[in-house]
Amino acid sequence: MPPVTLEKRNGIALLIIDNPPVNALGHAVRAGLAESIRAAEADGTVEAIVIASAGKTFIAGADIKEFNAPPQPPSLPELLAAIDACKKPFVAAIDGAALGGGLEVALTCDFRLATPASTLGLPEVKLGLIPGAGGTQRLPRLIDPAAALSMMAEGNPKTAEAAARLGIVDEIIPAENLLDVAVTFARQRAAEGAKRRLSERTPASAERAAVEEAATKILKKRAGEPQVEAIVRCVRAAFEESFKDATRLERELFLQLKENERSKALRYAFFAEREAARKPQVAEGAAPRPVKQVAIIGGGTMGSGIAIAFLDAGIATTVIETDEAGASRAAERISGNYQSAVDRGRISAEQKEDRLSLLKTEVGLDKVGQADLVVEAAFEDMAVKREIFSTLDRIAKPRAVLATNTSYLDVNEIAAATARPEDVLGMHFFSPANIMQLVEVVRASATSDETLLTAIATAKMLQKTPVVVGVGHGFVGNRMLARRSEQVDRLLLEGASPSEIDAALTEFGFKMGPCAMGDLAGLDISWRMRKATGRRAPAADALCEAGRLGQKTGRGYYLYPDASRKGVPDPEAETIIQAAAEREGIARRTISRQEILQRLIYPMINEGARILEEGIAERPADIDVIWLHGYAWPRWRGGPMYYADQMGLATIAAELERLSTDQKDESLAPAGLLASLAREGKGFHS
């Protein structure tokens, strides 16, 4: 089947794009469209041309995979120039997503019809790009230019209804009638001689001031994002230059940005997310079980957050506590959370009530009742968890999925407390669970395919990003994070200040550094864990022993004067750390920002390599997605394993060798996989 077919109906040429899965504008589609347009133009019996698509997407935009190779003609701008030069009117019949180049095709047409479920947008900014086929010029010539600027800078698609309100869509048409209506519509417009080429318009100069006002805000908020600056430049050019000159500028900037490392990393992240979302290896015919009722064991911060995620997805949820007081605290926590969402205007009071009507808070494990899925979010203690699972084994309904939200513990051992380990697995949510996207789905050795698929489908139903991982202390994310935390403590002892450590990571692109984050979460959490597992972090331990537990005690790594949330450097913390360094016999020195950064990140990458070797994560992309969605790794840096490839594994291996010798720590030496890839001159992804 050719990717573009031309059919004639009643004097109208109907061009149908059929390029699964999402009708991306790859080379074959561009060539097919160009050929069909030439044929329709040359055919004297054709009065107008309708562009439509097969499948559930109109056009997802340019084929992003092609961006890494030299473009093959016709380029999208060349194709759209051919539409612009054609004398016959064009109608875009949009059913599904019209994104990026897809919307640019529609904007080049004279008229746009869309079905109610369609979405329209220019999301290029999220890939570190700008609309590169006239979008920056046609949109501000069609709608309020300030609104066009915001739409391109944010990159979020609009619903058909919102797009119609903005003036992007001319009419909304029920899906079942779209093609018939489009053909009739095209005939009428042709008969009227109606054409609306946006390239022939100029944006209303009265709107210029509003554009400047919007531009100032956007540039301030999005400083350092070259694609956002480029969008602003192009919209300004729409007022100052001819369509031809402004589109030339747009093309130049697009081609420059396409080669930018930030855009490459953002494009990698897009595909890594899709790769991680792919169905894991399971037996043929294995399918998820339906999940309609859920029970959460434990209504603390984590359990309540998980409950909110389920309630938001419209799923009946019972939160189970050990006593009445705990149950009412959980109910208050959840309804308080919804109330603050109402106060901030995020949801309506009705939505709050709807969600809360799905919630029950109960006392006693026997209340799991007929739950299809039980998520245990109790205290992080093996004995507690085993006890809960052995009770669940007796009382949960047959074939209910039994998930533990443990962050570190051995899921095999938890599963062994039941006589149905095939139904047990880990669903490791991240705090706050109603907001953080990641769920590590921990496949234990006896977990059945059905159980695994049910957990994955459930996480997707919650609009979360599930990544399948294997059993091992801290799974993937926390296991890597532990290596970073070790270095934080060591760096503090060696002379780096908390602000220097945090600055190394915020300059790298993280929103928050590890010391500020530790203070926010409470330093006692990891202190307790270290004590339980016989580990030490001399600097952090000393701070905790001095009662400095973070923001909640007004002091931690930093001082928080007058209950402020912004920490300031504190000489007292420095003295405590210095004394700890002396006790450890560690000489203090000035440490460069670059050394700090490498020591925070390279040991984590090394641990990632071990995780791959051990099969705890299947692909490097899985690790990257875990860091993007669970630990706020800067998206424009791709993820730790992607970043490693950009740095070069040989460089990282050499640095790890040095660290391992300096710190007399064998575990810092390059992992086998990292060392062998480095020797072969390869990366994790090659």
Note the residues at the interface with ligand 3H9 (CB under 6 A): 21-22, 24, 57, 60-65, 76, 97, 99-101, 104, 123-124, 127, 129, 131-133, 135, 271, 274
Q: How far is the CB of 27 from ligand 3H9 (least distance, A)?
A: 12
Residue nearest to ligand 3H9 (CB): 100
Cβ-contact 659, 603 below 8 angstroms: yes
Q: How far is the CB of 306 from ligand 3H9 (least distance, A)?
A: 24
- Cα dihedral 467→472→473→476 (10° resolution): -30
* 118 vs 478, beta carbon nearer ligand 3H9: 118
3-state per-residue secondary structure call for 125-137:
HHHCCCCCCCHHH
Cβ neighbour number for residue 336 with a 10 Å cutoff? 11
Which DSSP helix (H) or strand (E) runs through 149? helix 145-154
For residues 685 and 673, what is the distance between their CA atoms, to the nearest angstrom? 12
Q: What is the DSSP letter of 62?
A: B
- By annotation, the residues acting in catalysis are 104, 124
All residues at 6 or more sequence positions from 584 whose CB lies less than 8 Å from its CB, including other chains:
493, 538
Q: How far is the CB of 61 from ligand 3H9 (least distance, A)?
A: 3
Q: How far is the CB of 71 from ligand 3H9 (least distance, A)?
A: 8
* 124 vs 502, beta carbon nearer ligand 3H9: 124
* 260 vs 578, beta carbon nearer ligand 3H9: 260
Burial of 127 (0-12, 13-18, 19+ CB in 10 A): buried
Q: How far is the CB of 94 from ligand 3H9 (least distance, A)?
A: 13
Cβ-contact 463, 433 below 8 angstroms: no
Q: Which two tokens stand for residue 484?
A: 């970073």
Q: Mark residue 638 as left, alpha or beta (left: phi above 0; alpha: psi -120 to 50; beta: remaining).
A: left
Which DSSP helix (H) or strand (E) runs through 186? helix 178-192
Nearest to 445 by CA among 464, 465, 426, 466: 426
* 281 vs 533, beta carbon nearer ligand 3H9: 281
Q: How far is the CB of 274 from ligand 3H9 (least distance, A)?
A: 4
* 108 vs 458, beta carbon nearer ligand 3H9: 108
* 271 vs 379, beta carbon nearer ligand 3H9: 271
For residues 342 and 338, what is the distance between their CA atoms, to the nearest angstrom? 6
For residues 64 and 350, what is the distance between their CA atoms, to the nearest angstrom? 41
Burial of 463 (0-12, 13-18, 19+ CB in 10 A): exposed
Q: Is 420 helix (H, G, I), strand (E, B) or coil?
A: coil
Q: How far is the CB of 271 from ligand 3H9 (least distance, A)?
A: 6
Q: How far is the CB of 57 from ligand 3H9 (least distance, A)?
A: 5
All residues at 6 or more sequence positions from 500 whose CB lies less than 8 Å from its CB, including other chains:
591, 593, 596
CA 481 to chain centre: 19
Cβ-contact 640, 601 below 8 angstroms: yes
* 127 vs 179, beta carbon nearer ligand 3H9: 127
Q: Which two tokens stand for residue 598?
A: 């490498």
3-state per-residue secondary structure call for 200-247:
HCCCCHHHHHHHHHHHHHHHHHCCCCHHHHHHHHHHHHHHHCCHHHHH
* 253 vs 611, beta carbon nearer ligand 3H9: 253
Nearest to 215 by CA among 166, 157, 150: 150
Q: How far is the CB of 132 from ligand 3H9 (least distance, A)?
A: 3
Q: How far is the CB of 162 from ligand 3H9 (least distance, A)?
A: 16
Q: What is the DSSP letter of 445?
A: T
Q: How far is the CB of 116 from ligand 3H9 (least distance, A)?
A: 16
Cβ-contact 231, 164 below 8 angstroms: no
* Degrees, nearest 5: CA angle 598-603-607: 150
For residues 191 and 92, what is the distance between their CA atoms, to the nearest angstrom? 17
For residues 660 and 606, what is the distance between their CA atoms, to the nearest angstrom? 12
Q: How far is the CB of 511 from ligand 3H9 (least distance, A)?
A: 24
* 64 vs 673, beta carbon nearer ligand 3H9: 64
Strand-pairing partners, residue 402, are: 374, 424
* 127 vs 139, beta carbon nearer ligand 3H9: 127
The shares of helix, strand and coil residues in the chain, as percent rounded to the nearest 5, are: 55, 15, 35
* 181 vs 277, beta carbon nearer ligand 3H9: 277
All residues at 6 or more sequence positions from 635 whose CB lies less than 8 Å from its CB, including other chains:
265, 266, 269, 628
Helix axes of 571-584 and 477-494: crossing angle, nearest 10 degrees: 90
Q: Which residue has the tokens 């875009």?
A: 92
* 97 vs 644, beta carbon nearer ligand 3H9: 97
* 560 vs 636, beta carbon nearer ligand 3H9: 636
Q: What is the DSSP letter of 366?
A: G
Q: How far is the CB of 122 from ligand 3H9 (least distance, A)?
A: 7
Q: Is 511 helix (H, G, I), strand (E, B) or coil?
A: coil
Q: Which residue has the tokens 């070790």?
A: 486
